[in-house]
């Protein structure tokens, strides 16, 4: 009686995704897609609070900070209790975060993210009590409160087994915070604007300067470095910087980019830019595969012996290495030709990672190789 099991192991082990960026030349983008305006940004807010109304899924008694917070809240409400007599299984201590949008005014609403910091098992059905949200300067800029929306759940049976979906200890409150303090920043009073490129590049910066000046009909923009552009407000737009930026941010620009190959070896992802070129070289690559076969054999004792019938496992290992031809890659070939040539030698995407690293070491890859 045989019970055969076959396990196949191959190198490379993981399936790999090869992403090819073949847009050449790059399509024109808008200034607003490539850069940001100095001072026009979000500010992070953070606060501490309590979520109440949980159905026995709150923090346990070991979370002393939750108990202490409940006591402090009750004392402010005129209720005085002994800490040892408080059970907080329906209450959870949370950290509340939000992003304060630029030019947000008092009374504006913000979305709030609520995350448990104790040992609560779920925030589902809970309500956040009034929680002040502070900025990096320690000032209170908003106050959050309201019922939570939790996109997950967790249930526990009497035997202790649990079933969960998503993260039940994190919830959101849409429009759950009200802005109480405004940031003092008036853009219409500015005489010059600083524009910062998301990705610094001298060619892109110069093209953006030329495009903005052509759009405004004068030399108002100048590049200070590869990522910063100084824009002087034209006389016709003094006091109307909003109208100026509405015109500037829609200006089309042809961005430039360096030839780069990005490799994520952990999950086998390769991203190759359109400007990747290689010098003349020859490439050969062989894939190694390992096949492991395990079987169970029955060992019978000799007649009239005192032995017992036993099951003996047997393992058969086979290793095979494929032979591939040497492929010649010509100088200056395009990305598509590189991929076609590598596919011709039977290279899988996982093999491409090793090949690209070898091409870079040999000086044949005319691109930056970045491993993340």
pLDDT, one tens digit per residue, over 166-188 is 678 999 999 999 999 988 778 88
- pLDDT of residue 100 exceeding 90, the answer is yes
pTM, full prediction: 0.65
Which range is most confident: 36-40, 47-51, 73-77, 298-302? 47-51
Contact (CB, 8 A) for 183 and 108:
no
Q: Are residues 175 and 60 in the same domain?
A: yes
Check residue 195 and give its pLDDT.
95
Residue 32 lies in a domain: no
Nearest residue to 91 via CA among 112, 111, 114, 61: 61
Which range is most confident: 102-111, 300-309, 338-347? 102-111
Higher pLDDT, 125 or 328: 125
| Residue 231: both structure tokens together | 């824009």
Contact (CB, 8 A) for 21 and 273:
yes
What's the CATH number where 201 sits? 3.30.70
Percent of the chain surpassing pLDDT 90:
36
Residue 35 lies in a domain: no
Q: Are residues 293 and 369 in the same domain?
A: yes
Nearest residue to 329 via CA among 342, 320, 315, 314: 342
| Residue 273: both structure tokens together | 């830019």
Check residue 269 and give its pLDDT.
78
pLDDT tens per residue across span 333-345: 555 666 666 666 6
Distance CA 245, CA 188 (A): 10
pLDDT tens per residue across span 219-257: 999 999 999 999 999 999 998 999 999 999 999 999 988
Check residue 324 and give its pLDDT.
56
Where among 237, 253, 269 does a domain terminate?
253
- pLDDT of residue 132 exceeding 60, the answer is yes
Where among 233, 253, 273 does a domain terminate?
253
Where among 156, 179, 202 does a domain terminate?
179
Check residue 6 and give its pLDDT.
33
Contact (CB, 8 A) for 278 and 365:
yes
In this predicted structure, which of 91-100, 130-139, 143-152 has the lowest mean pLDDT?
Answer: 143-152
Q: Are residues 93 and 135 in the same domain?
A: yes
Question: Environment class of residue 31 by beta-carbon count within 10 Å: exposed (0-12), middle (13-18) or buried (19+)?
Answer: buried
Range of the domain at 274: 1-26+257-372
Distance of CA 94 to the CA centre of its chain: 23
Q: Are residues 126 and 148 in the same domain?
A: yes
- pLDDT of residue 5 exceeding 90, the answer is no
- Count the Cβ atoms, other than its own, within 10 Å of residue 131: 23
When pLDDT is cut at 50, 70 and 90, the band that residue 81 belongs to is confident
When pLDDT is cut at 50, 70 and 90, the band that residue 15 belongs to is very low
- pLDDT of residue 93 exceeding 60, the answer is yes
Residue 66 lies in a domain: yes
Q: Are residues 91 and 132 in the same domain?
A: yes
When pLDDT is cut at 50, 70 and 90, the band that residue 9 belongs to is very low
- pLDDT of residue 20 exceeding 50, the answer is no
30-52 average pLDDT score: 92
What value does the mean pLDDT of the chain take? 79
Q: Are residues 269 and 339 in the same domain?
A: yes
When pLDDT is cut at 50, 70 and 90, the band that residue 288 belongs to is very low
Residue 33 lies in a domain: no
Report the domain count for the chain: 3
- Count the Cβ atoms, other than its own, within 10 Å of residue 322: 11
Contact (CB, 8 A) for 178 and 108:
yes
């Amino acid at each position: 009686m045989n019970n055969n099991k076959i396990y196949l192991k191959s190198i490379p082990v993981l399936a790999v995704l090869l992403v090819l960026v073949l847009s050449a030349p790059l399509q024109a983008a808008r200034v607003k897609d490539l850069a940001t305006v100095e001072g026009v940004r979000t500010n992070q807010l953070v606060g501490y609070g309590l979520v109440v109304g949980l159905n026995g899924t709150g923090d346990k008694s070991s979370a002393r900070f939750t108990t202490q917070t409940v006591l402090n809240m009750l004392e402010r409400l005129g209720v005085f209790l002994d800490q040892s007599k408080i059970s907080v299984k329906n209450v959870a201590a949370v950290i509340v975060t939000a992003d304060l949008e630029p030019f947000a005014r008092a009374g504006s609403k913000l979305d709030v993210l609520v995350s448990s910091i104790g040992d609560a098992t779920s925030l589902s059905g809970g309500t956040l009590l009034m929680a002040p949200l502070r900025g990096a300067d320690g000032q209170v800029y908003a106050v959050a409160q309201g019922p939570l929306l939790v996109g997950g759940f967790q249930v526990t049976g009497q035997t202790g087994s649990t079933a969960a979906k998503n993260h039940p200890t994190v919830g959101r409150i849409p429009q759950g915070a009200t802005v109480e303090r405004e940031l003092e920043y008036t853009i219409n009073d500015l005489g010059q604007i600083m524009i910062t490129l998301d990705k610094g590049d001298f060619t892109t910066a110069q093209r953006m300067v030329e495009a903005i000046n052509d759009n405004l009909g004068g030399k108002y923009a100048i590049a200070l470095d590869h990522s910063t552009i100084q824009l002087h407000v034209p006389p016709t737009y003094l006091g109307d910087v909003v109208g100026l930026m509405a015109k500037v941010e829609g200006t089309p620009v042809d961005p430039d980019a360096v030839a780069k190959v990005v490799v994520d070896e952990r999950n086998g992802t390769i991203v190759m830019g359109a400007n990747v070129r290689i010098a003349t070289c020859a490439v050969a690559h062989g894939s190694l595969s390992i096949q492991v076969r395990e079987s169970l054999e029955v060992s019978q004792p000799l007649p009239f012996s005192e032995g017992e019938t036993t099951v003996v496992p047997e393992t058969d290992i086979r290793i095979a290495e494929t032979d591939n031809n040497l492929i010649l890659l010509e100088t200056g070939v395009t990305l598509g030709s590189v991929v076609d040539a590598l596919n011709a030698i039977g290279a899988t995407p996982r093999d491409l990672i090793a090949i690209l690293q070898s091409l870079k070491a040999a000086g044949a890859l005319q691109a930056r190789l970045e491993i993340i």
